[in-house]
Amino acid sequence: MKIVVIADDLTGAAEVAGSALRYGLSAEVQIGQLAASEVDVIVVDADSRSQSPEIAFDKVLQLTQQAVDAQYGLLYKKVDSLLRGPVLAELAAMREATGLDRCLLVCGNPRKRRNVIQGKIAIDGQPLHQTEFALDPEHPRHTDDVIGLLQSGSSESTLGCSMAGAESLSVLAPGRAINTPIAVGDVACTADLDRHVQQWLDQRDTTLVAGGAEFFEAILRGIGVAEHLGIQREAAVVPGNQALKENYAKALLVSGTRLSHCEGWPVMAFPPDRSLAECVGVVRQALETEGRAAIRAVDLVSGSHVTRLQWITQLAAQILGTCELNQVWIEGGRTASSLLRELCIMRLKAIAELGDGVVCLTACGSDNPLFLIKPGSYPWPPAALNTPFAIRNSHIQ
């Protein structure tokens, strides 16, 4: 069975590709396009999270129509676990293209302690709007209510076309029948994901399925992928460590997120009077002497979030264009998407999952550099940090 997943950003797409690897499936991440591939799972970054509902609708509609025309066996909509972005518009687009009457949306990721209890999102038991995500510069979370979050990311036009007014949205207990156009599933534990999958299987002919990476894994279990292949869930981590051990000479970390995780990396400073070319030279010197360097949007002294991200992307692209790197570590989906588009890399092969949501990829047709991509809010896992490269440079403060 060929599977197509449409994600709202690149880290979400990479995360699902990593989930596919856990179950012995081959996976490819494609940026802004859906192209034929021999892999089992194609995950497309629609780059829609930061778009208006109308633009997001058009993007996802076009991609979904392409998947329907190609007659792929399963379509899945990957959404942010905190429902950031125009989620309803994207679901509306997929429902229109597929002709499906209903949608089951399960955004909880219990392994990461992101749960949905009675329609309220909590992280580590704390209501969403009382966490650091209340300060998200682009999508601040001011409520923990899933219905309110969905409606806040929509416009009147998308609410109308998706039939997702208040009367058409509901919160669904695990295992209960879907009886509204869009039902958001409660998730307190992994077993709840499996219960939602079984209910979806009973209504599969009429119901679109959407949610986080862990719900996608539950679907793979529900349709028998895990049992058929007999794959151990953590097996994909081993080749990921090996890939890092064999390829660690020079590494650049690019962070466009406010929640940067750069412990142990030489962090570059960028005075406002220093030109882009001068900054490239400074970073290249650090790469030659230290073996790695981190460039972060949060270290820029001025500019909006968008302009800082654009500057960091241009800087990283010029470094990659003038310096041969072995690894590029990227924090944040929008950062990763912007940089890869700047480099004209539109298709990447998933090599290994290094931890929940942290995936190692290479551009199709090239083994170098390795791209390590993760959401901005996730830490780097020990599988990524505990390598000869990290050990060799552990003296760097």
Query: Domain extents for the chain?
Result: 3-229, 237-392
CA 42, chain centre distance (Å)? 14
Instruction: Measure the CA–CA gap between 94 and 21, rounded to whole angstroms.
Output: 25
Record the tokens describing residue 345, joined without a space. 């890399």
For 61-120, the pLDDT digits (tens) are 999 999 999 999 899 999 999 999 999 999 999 999 999 999 999 999 999 999 999 999
Alpha-carbon distance of 79 to 63, in angstroms, equals 15
CATH of 3-229 among 3.40.50.10840, 3.90.190.20, 3.40.50.10320, 3.40.190.10: 3.40.50.10840
d(CA 238, CA 241) in angstroms, rounded, equals 5
What was the pLDDT predicted at 154?
75
Q: Which residues pair with 359 in a beta bridge?
A: 353, 373
Phi, psi (rounded to 5 degrees) for 222: -65, -35
Give phi and psi for 102, each to the nearest 5: -130, 170
Report pTM. Answer: 0.88
Compute the distance between CA of residue 193 and CA of residue 198 in angstroms, rounded to an integer.
Answer: 9
**CA nearest neighbour of 257 among 342, 359, 330:** 330
Looking at residue 166, its pLDDT comes to 59
Q: What pLDDT is recorded for position 243?
A: 47
What three-state secondary structure class fits 212?
Answer: coil
What type of residue sits at position 229?
L
Domain 237-392 has CATH 3.40.980.20: yes
Total residue length of the chain: 397
Instruction: State both tokens at 92.
Output: 């509306």
Q: Can you give the pLDDT at residue 385?
A: 65
Structure tokens at 189: 């534990």
What is the Cα–Cα distance from 61 to 90, expressed in whole angstroms?
8
Q: What is the DSSP string of 260-301?
A: ---TTS-BPP--TT--HHHHHHHHHHHHHHHSEEEEEGGG-S
**In whole angstroms, what separates CA 35 from the centre of its chain?**
19
d(CA 215, CA 220): 9
In tens, the pLDDT along 169-219 reads 999 999 899 989 999 999 999 999 999 999 999 999 999 999 999 999 999
In order of 138, 181, 265, the CA distances from 135 in angstroms are 9, 31, 25
Report the distance separating Cα 374 and Cα 192, nearest Å.
25
Q: Are 114 and 221 a contacting pair, CB within 8 Å?
A: no
Asked if omega into 369 is within 30° of 0 (cis), the reply is yes
Positions of the chain with pLDDT lower than 50, given as ranges: 162-163, 228, 230-247, 388-397
Which pLDDT score, from 0 to 100, does residue 269 have?
A: 84
Could you tell me the two tokens for 6?
A: 């449409």
